[in-house]
Structure 1
Amino acid sequence: MADYNEPLLSQATEGQYDHGDQLLIPRNRATTASFVGGAGDIPPIRNIRDFSREFVAESSKLWLLAGPAIFTSICQYSLGAVTQVFAGHVGTLELAAVSIENSVIAGFSLGTMLGMGSALETLCGQAYGAGQLEMLGVYMQRSWVILLATSLLLSLMYIFAAPFLLLIGQTASISRAAGVFAIWMLPQLFAYAMNYPMAKFLQAQSKMAVRAGIGGAALAFHAAFSWLLVVKLGWGLGGAAVVLNASWWFIVASQLVYIVGGRCGRAWSGFTWQAFHNLWGFVRLSLASAVMVCLEIWYFMVLILFAGYLKDAEVAVAALSICMNILGWTIMAAFGMNIAISVRISNELGAGHPRTAKFSLTVAVISSFVVGIILALVLVVTRDYYPSLFSNNLAVKQVVKDLTPLLALCIVINNVQPVLCGVAIGAGWQAVVAYVNIGCYYLFGIPLGLIMGYKFHMGITGIWLGMMAGTVVQTLVLYWMIYITNWNKEASIAGDRIKKWGEDCHNEIIDH
């Protein structure tokens, strides 16, 4: 593995890179855990038989993480998507308003909260791999402090959503309706700030099953009460906001009860004032993570924003929001794999296992590509039927049907790209990837899409094609970066980082 151009094969002897094992602390793990403290690096892969054996073993580890993570991601994403479905049956303006609020206002906030919370994927994941469990709870509480403070600043965007949307060129009717809905959704913003640090805290410990159970219960609650308040009682967008806020806070409260209830062992030792110490260093890593993730999330969300400038904006926004809903649901499979590979990479690098980390990436990419192909085929086959689930408007349904081939292609591409980003998070490369995203997405993809959409009069199709081109370029650049990486060096860096974190945490506990 010392050779940058040798991704899987190595002549090194087994155990050569197990230098991080002395950091590990033996512990009893749940049967669903994919990382086992004290285990060595995988042996060198020299032939197809070795590849097949390790592929099966690594697949089982990944899917033990990815399965519950995918289910959780689908459930949480479906909260907003279900709200849009019910809004679409209230009216086209209501659907457009909810779509704009979800994509522009809540989307901006979600990207910021998720991005800043993703700093814990590197910190907690590598610390857990090295057996430094005491650090996890302190870091989660620091993330709470930072994200709640950030939420106070972001709340201004919710309060002034209507004039902001008017300023950037949205129609007056959509801006007014989305502005009112945004104010109603302020509680969701603070739920984001509490939820994502807890999510990263739990996933670093491979505690996916509990998150899946909470997510499933929240979705069932959300669907039932959305129907009751929006359709049966006729509360409209007000009822939708009440249920959506309540569903997110149900997730927050349930995870908090699980964590403080003593189910996380040494990872949670109670609330501490240490959460307010050394915040600036944590802020810097959180900001780097936020920039990387936000650039990812906002990229396709601005597609709906651009659609608002087209002729017949309400139909264009409504149709594109349906496509983005479906794309979001299908990408949840890749996002679940993103979580799984981030945990696997961070755990294995923290333990000093470079070959295992790199092979895990190979398995994740292959698995996500196959899943993407299957989902795209299902969508193409059902293109005459699924639009009716989202809208009763004939014009909207026809536009969705016309966009289905493009949507299917986008699903395949976007099922692989998040996996590569998960590797970046697990290895701690957020700042580098942020620059890649700026270049590929915002300096290339968006300008190309706008030229194709407006200059060449290709409309939504042209905008979407240009932005997909940016995604393809970004995926190729990430693959090249990962391919040339010296994973032995990354494992050594992770080991040094964990040692430093461990000393800091030990000193903090003694001081406390």
Structure 2
Amino acid sequence: MGSTVKTLCGQTFGASKYEMLGIYLQRLTILLMLTGLPLTVIYIFSKPILMLFGQSSTIASAAATYVYGLNPQNFAYAANFPIQKFLQSQRIVAPTAYISIATLLVHLLLSWVVVYKIGLGLFGASMVLSLSWWIIVLAQFIYITKSERCKHTWTGFTLEAFSGLPKFFKLCLETRYVFTSGETVANAVSELCPFLAINPIPYEIQPVLSGVAVGCGWQKFVAYVNVGCYYIVGIPLGTLLGFQFKDGAKVEKVKKRLDKWEVKDVITTPENV
């Protein structure tokens, strides 16, 4: 639903209608927050829902305990996505990266304290995850309100954000990103198509293999593989090729594909079967 806003923000910024970016940010946040309400209801009743689909009471109780702590995260997502699109449309990327890295370090420390020292278990782990996402949201919002780079695009809260919400909601649900008459855009997309065509293969295989590994009791192993592939391989490689060699979006697609295949290759090595 927020993908359309990414296009709107980019077009609005390009047309120098800077104040509208802040309005779009607020409108989308309102809509996504409202969307989070039914998800919260599902989370609250997750145990009976899981049992209705045949899950055992023990597993359903453990899953529900974890899910209860994720309720605040739903609304953090609702705020984080519009903020990211707001910043990206202005080519502001570095602050989000720095905030995410700093929050990751805080998250690791808090998770260790809450889970192993305080002993809050699954519920504590999910609550720390929710807290970490809200830290990211608040830090990015503080940047927006204080940065000189956003002084023209963020002019404060306004009641105009509540006007035209039904039309804005309808626009967000429309499929626009399908045909284009722009030759430049068409050429850029055609260069990405070979990578996009291959992407579904590892995206479908990786969750299955991870699920099998977790089911075999290799939770720590899967966690190490995911962290290693993403933070040690994926992010440095994407940063190097995307920024140093200026390959941009094309390299991002390659990086994502490598991340997924890296997981598959490690899990299926003879030592781990």
Normalising by structure 2, we get a TM-score of: 0.71
CA distance in 2, matches of 1:242, 1:226: 9
Matching residue of 1:314: 215
Counterparts in 2 of 1:320 and 1:223: CA distance versus 1, 3 Å: closer
Q: Would the aligned equivalents of 1:198 and 1:255 in 2 still touch at CA under 8 Å?
A: yes
Give 1:285's match in structure 2, choosing from 153, 171, 191. 171
In the TM superposition, what whole-angstrom CA distance separates every residue of 1:467-488 from its partner, at most 9, and x where no partner exists?
A: xxxxxxxxxxxxxxxxxxxxxx
Counterparts in 2 of 1:172 and 1:313: CA distance versus 1, 3 Å: farther
Deviation at 1:286, TM superposition (A): 2.2
Counterparts in 2 of 1:123 and 1:224: CA distance versus 1, 3 Å: same
Give 1:183's match in structure 2, choosing from 41, 44, 68. 68
Q: Would the aligned equivalents of 1:379 and 1:404 in 2 still touch at CA under 8 Å?
A: no
Matched, 1:233 2:118: yes
Q: Would the aligned equivalents of 1:334 and 1:368 in 2 still touch at CA under 8 Å?
A: no
The 5 Å alignment of 1:167-316 reads 167-261=52-146, 263=148, 264-288=150-174, 300=204, 303=207, 314-315=215-216
CA distance in 1, matches of 2:215, 2:259: 31
CA distance in 1, matches of 2:216, 2:71: 27
**Matched residue type, 1:193:** A
In the TM superposition, what whole-angstrom CA distance separates every residue of 1:71-113 from its partner, at most 9, and x where no partner exists?
A: xxxxxxxxxxxxxxxxxxxxxxxxxxxxxxxxxxxxxxxxxxx
**Matched residue type, 1:314:** G
3-state SS of the aligned residue for 1:266?
coil
Deviation at 1:162, TM superposition (A): 1.6
CA distance in 1, matches of 2:258, 2:129: 32
Gaps (5+ residues) in structure 1?
A: 1-115, 341-359, 384-399, 406-512
Matched, 1:142 2:27: yes
Deviation at 1:208, TM superposition (A): 0.8
CA distance in 1, matches of 2:72, 2:248: 39
In the TM superposition, what whole-angstrom CA distance separates every residue of 1:152-190 from its partner, at most 9, and x where no partner exists?
A: 121111101122223334443222101111112211111
**Matched residue type, 2:141:** L
Deviation at 1:316, TM superposition (A): 7.2
Q: Give the CA RMSD over aligned residues.
A: 4.1
Q: Would the aligned equivalents of 2:99 and 2:140 in 1 still touch at CA under 8 Å?
A: yes
Counterparts in 2 of 1:326 and 1:170: CA distance versus 1, 3 Å: farther
Deviation at 1:370, TM superposition (A): 7.0
Counterparts in 2 of 1:175 and 1:301: CA distance versus 1, 3 Å: farther
CA distance in 2, matches of 1:259, 1:243: 24
The 5 Å alignment of 1:336-347 reads none
In the TM superposition, what whole-angstrom CA distance separates every residue of 1:370-406 from its partner, at most 9, and x where no partner exists?
A: 78559957985xx4xxxxxxxxxxxxxxxx344999x
Deviation at 1:285, TM superposition (A): 2.9
The 5 Å alignment of 1:84-99 reads none
CA distance in 2, matches of 1:404, 1:300: 23
CA distance in 2, matches of 1:175, 1:302: 24
CA distance in 2, matches of 1:272, 1:161: 36
Deviation at 1:145, TM superposition (A): 1.1
Counterparts in 2 of 1:370 and 1:181: CA distance versus 1, 3 Å: closer
Q: Would the aligned equivalents of 1:262 and 1:268 in 2 still touch at CA under 8 Å?
A: no
Gaps (5+ residues) in structure 2?
A: 179-199
Deviation at 1:319, TM superposition (A): 8.6
Counterparts in 2 of 1:236 and 1:373: CA distance versus 1, 3 Å: closer
Normalising by structure 1, we get a TM-score of: 0.40
Structure 1 stretches of 4+ with a deviation exceeding 6 A read 323-328, 330-337
The 5 Å alignment of 1:42-191 reads 116-191=1-76
3-state SS of the aligned residue for 1:163?
helix
CA distance in 1, matches of 2:118, 2:11: 49
Deviation at 1:252, TM superposition (A): 1.3
Structure with more relative contact order (C-alpha pairs < 8 Å, separation 6 or more): 1
Deviation at 1:130, TM superposition (A): 2.3
CA distance in 2, matches of 1:255, 1:204: 15
Deviation at 1:231, TM superposition (A): 2.0
Counterparts in 2 of 1:319 and 1:377: CA distance versus 1, 3 Å: closer
CA distance in 2, matches of 1:186, 1:301: 29
CA distance in 1, matches of 2:145, 2:84: 14
**Matched residue type, 1:274:** E
CA distance in 1, matches of 2:270, 2:230: 15
**Matched residue type, 2:44:** I
Counterparts in 2 of 1:371 and 1:159: CA distance versus 1, 3 Å: closer
Report % sequence identity.
35
